Structure 1
């Protein structure tokens, strides 16, 4: 069993990320991340396409998440790390995630976390913001 890295991870740790996806994100890691970015079971359920009951079962059984869910968890973690870096203050980024974005088709960025394509679009928009390129 490999050593579990502490939050936050970096996107430059590609091999570690790939291994963590294969092994599955351990539930305690998921709990720390949820606390850090203030997501509850309802939000995770929507983003991972899992029922809240299934997520609670991972906790009860002390299981690591399956690779398909682990990958999405880590993608969201990396996105939040990037967003906080771009905005400088976590609360500013969280506010942006909850505000409808013209550049993202009038949708709240947070509402796009349920697909990898949505996460990529948000990541790209953060890159534009970081470099001062708007809409």
Structure 2
């Protein structure tokens, strides 16, 4: 397990601290361990099937990672971190994990009447959701 973990509740979403950025980059490069991923994923509202979809791997591969306690590659690690940071931001904006989860699962007019969680499989989609959360925070809904 890594000494620094992006999944700590104290980690701010929009921090620009150089030490934080460098630690995130190092974490991505070394790969997130399945143990760290599992701690986060078990607290998220996403199923194994959804995580496999977001990480562009099969459920069977995800199960193999668990069995072998394998680390994720850098692209998958980056996606896990992006989703973790988005979740932290969503909880900040909505005030609770359950309200954020409801938003993720409710079709959104600003997103073409699609469910926000359908955008979690790409970095562009995650950035779009981050921008939408900022608009919601500031009351710019259209």
- TM-score range for the pair, normalised by the shorter chain length: over 0.9
Counterpart Cα distance in 1 of 2:85 and 2:6: 13
The reply to whether residue 88 of structure 1 matches residue 95 of structure 2 is yes
Q: How much does 1:38 deviate?
A: 2.2
SS in 1 for 2:121: coil
Q: How much does 1:61 deviate?
A: 1.1
Q: Is the 8 A contact 1:6 1:29 kept in 2?
A: no
Deviations 1:14-60 (A, max 9, x none): 11111110010111111111111122210011111100011111111
Q: Is the 8 A contact 2:6 2:81 kept in 1?
A: no
Work out which of the residue numbers 69, 72, 80 in structure 1 matches 2:79. Answer: 72
Unaligned runs of at least 5 residues, structure 2: none
The reply to whether residue 10 of structure 1 matches residue 12 of structure 2 is yes
Task: Point out 4+ residue stretches in structure 1 off by more than 4 angstroms.
Answer: none
Structure 1 residues 96, 118: CA separation in 2 closer, same or farther (over 3 Å shift)?
same
Q: How much does 1:108 deviate?
A: 0.3
Unaligned runs of at least 5 residues, structure 1: none
Deviations 1:54-104 (A, max 9, x none): 111111111110001000000000000000000011111100000000011
What TM-score, normalized by structure 2, do the two folds share?
0.89
The reply to whether residue 49 of structure 1 matches residue 32 of structure 2 is no
